[in-house]
């Protein structure tokens, strides 16, 4: 115990990360809002319901097809807040810079953060910079905090899934993971895969306007992918989840790249997708609303919440068989967010 060290797999977002959180942090951090283990916490300040989140971005490479670490940090922050149903208002940005980083690169990153923030109508209201010696960080790490406001009635969280809920996925999965992996490995595909990094707050707004009471859970399948978020929801809500392989939207290039790299797309990171669990009577209307938004045009209902196999996710395969979809164990990819 005492001579144990942090291993790369502790940062995978899968079981090993969960184990680290439970064994170390939850021993000392015991606030009830934190213990809900959602991507953001919802707290009351006077009469206002506030969503607050924090995230740290360490992606390698820092520039990738479809974005860079700066735009990603804004999108990720906006999305963490949005998944509670809150309207993101403002965010902070803390920079850890390694000695030797090109100033021109830093400027490109800062500029794309400003653009991404403006697009999402989110204010970057405070920031901090630290510089560390060469080798003490990898070029640039960014930490953010986001805050947003929720309406009184909104109660969307990982604990909210109910048997019968339909599971809507807003589009193709794995684009970000493959964009990063292929740019890192220097492999180009005939159809290049671009990261899906994007702010989802307006998509969420469209959805919530269409079915104000119908959405029980929203989650963005980032690190650890669709498999990981569905497992989190299944265990947070103590329900079973059944999904259909045939319904999961995938780009051909992503399928091909997964064969090449040996990845399972269910575990690949996404930075501009969401999963929404919607009560059955509202499901079609919710799907239409999501599809009406440019970021949701490939959306599909991929499965439902079932009263079988609580806390587990099961996949009906293309071959007609069934299998468990477990959480990611260990590390599939190096730093992707």
Partner 1 sequence: MKYLSEFRDPEAAKALHQQIKKAAAKLPGPVKIMEICGSHTVSIFRAGIKSLLPSNVTLVSGPGCPVCVTATEDMDRMIALSGMAVEKNITIATFGDMVRVPGSFTSLEKERAAGADVRITATPLDALRWAGENPDREVVFLGVGFETTSPTIAATVERAQRDNISNFTVYPAFKLLPPALAALLDSEDVALDAFICPGHVSVMLGADTYRPVAAKYGKPCVIAGFEPLDIMLGISVALGLLANKQHEVYNTYKRAVTDEGNRAAMDLLMKIFKPVDTPWRGLGYIPDSGLDFREEYSEFNAITRYGLTEVETGSDPPGCACGEVLRGVIDPPQCHLFGNECSPQSPMGSCMVSSEGSCAAWYRYSE
Beta carbons of 167 and 133 less than 8 angstroms apart: no
Choosing from 23, 130, 247, 252, the residue that interacts with partner 1 (CB under 8 A) is 252
Choosing from 5, 27, 134, 153, the residue that interacts with partner 1 (CB under 8 A) is 5
How many other β-carbons are positioned within 10 Å of the β-carbon of residue 199?
26
Site for partner 1 in 191-250 (CB under 8 A): 246
Q: Closest separation between CB of residue 331 and partner 1, Å? A: 9
- Does 323 interact with partner 1 (rule: CB under 8 A)? yes
Taking alpha carbons only, the member of 222, 273, 278 closest to residue 251 is 273
Q: Closest separation between CB of residue 100 and partner 1, Å? A: 20
Which helix (H) or strand (E) segment is 57 a member of?
strand 48-57
- Does 186 interact with partner 1 (rule: CB under 8 A)? no
How many other β-carbons are positioned within 10 Å of the β-carbon of residue 284?
14
Task: Determine the angle formed by the axes of helices 175-185 and 252-261, rounding to 10 degrees.
Answer: 50
The DSSP code for 17 is H
Choosing from 32, 135, 186, 321, the residue that interacts with partner 1 (CB under 8 A) is 321
Please provide residue 147's backbone torsions phi and psi, each rounded to the nearest 5 degrees. Answer: -130, 150
Binding residues for partner 1, rule CB under 8 A, total 32
Q: Closest separation between CB of residue 7 and partner 1, Å? A: 5
Q: Closest separation between CB of residue 62 and partner 1, Å? A: 21
Torsion of CA 164, 41, 178, 140, to 10 degrees: 180
- Does 35 interact with partner 1 (rule: CB under 8 A)? no
Site for partner 1 in 263-292 (CB under 8 A): 264
Secondary structure (3-state) at 274: coil
Q: Closest separation between CB of residue 308 and partner 1, Å? A: 10
Percent helix, percent strand, percent coil in the chain, to nearest 5 = 35, 25, 40
Strand partners, 42: 51
- Does 21 interact with partner 1 (rule: CB under 8 A)? no
Choose between 124 and 253: whose C-beta lies nearer to partner 1: 253
Choosing from 124, 312, 336, 337, the residue that interacts with partner 1 (CB under 8 A) is 312
Choosing from 32, 135, 262, 294, the residue that interacts with partner 1 (CB under 8 A) is 262
Binding residues for partner 1 (CB under 8 A): 5-9, 14-16, 19, 246, 252, 255-256, 259, 262, 264, 309, 312, 314-324, 326, 329-330
């Amino acid at each position: 115990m005492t001579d144990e060290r942090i291993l790369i797999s502790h940062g995978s977002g899968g079981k090993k990360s969960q184990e680290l959180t439970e064994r170390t942090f939850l021993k000392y951090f015991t606030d009830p809002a934190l213990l809900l283990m959602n991507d953001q916490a919802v707290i009351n300040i006077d009469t206002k319901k506030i969503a607050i989140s924090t995230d740290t971005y360490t992606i390698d490479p820092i520039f990738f097809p479809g974005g860079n670490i700066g735009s990603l940090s804004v999108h990720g922050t906006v999305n963490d807040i949005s998944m509670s149903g809150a309207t993101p208002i403002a965010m902070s940005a803390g920079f850890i810079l390694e000695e030797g980083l090109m100033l021109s690169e830093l400027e490109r990153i800062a500029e794309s953060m400003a653009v991404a923030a403006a697009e999402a109508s989110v204010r970057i209201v405070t920031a901090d910079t630290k510089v560390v010696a060469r080798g003490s960080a990898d070029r640039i790490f960014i930490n953010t905090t986001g805050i947003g406001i929720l309406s009184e009635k909104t109660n969307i969280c990982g604990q909210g899934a109910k048997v019968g809920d339909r599971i809507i996925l807003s589009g193709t999965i794995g684009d970000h993971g493959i964009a990063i992996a292929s740019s890192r490995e220097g492999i180009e595909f005939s159809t290049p895969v671009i990261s899906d990094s994007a702010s989802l707050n307006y998509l969420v707004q469209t959805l919530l306007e269409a079915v104000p009471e119908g959405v029980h859970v929203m989650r963005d399948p980032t690190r650890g992918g669709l498999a990981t978020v569905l497992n989190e929801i299944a265990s947070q809500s103590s329900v079973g989840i059944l999904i259909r392989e045939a319904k999961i939207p995938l780009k051909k290039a992503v399928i091909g790249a997964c064969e090449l790299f040996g990845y399972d797309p269910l575990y690949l990171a996404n930075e501009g997708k969401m999963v929404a669990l919607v009560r059955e009577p509202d499901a079609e209307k919710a799907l239409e609303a999501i599809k009406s938004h440019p970021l949701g045009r490939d959306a599909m209902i991929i499965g439902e919440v079932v009263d079988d196999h609580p806390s587990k996710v099961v996949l009906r395969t293309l071959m007609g068989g069934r299998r468990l979809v477990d959480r990611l164990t260990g590390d599939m990819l190096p730093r992707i967010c």
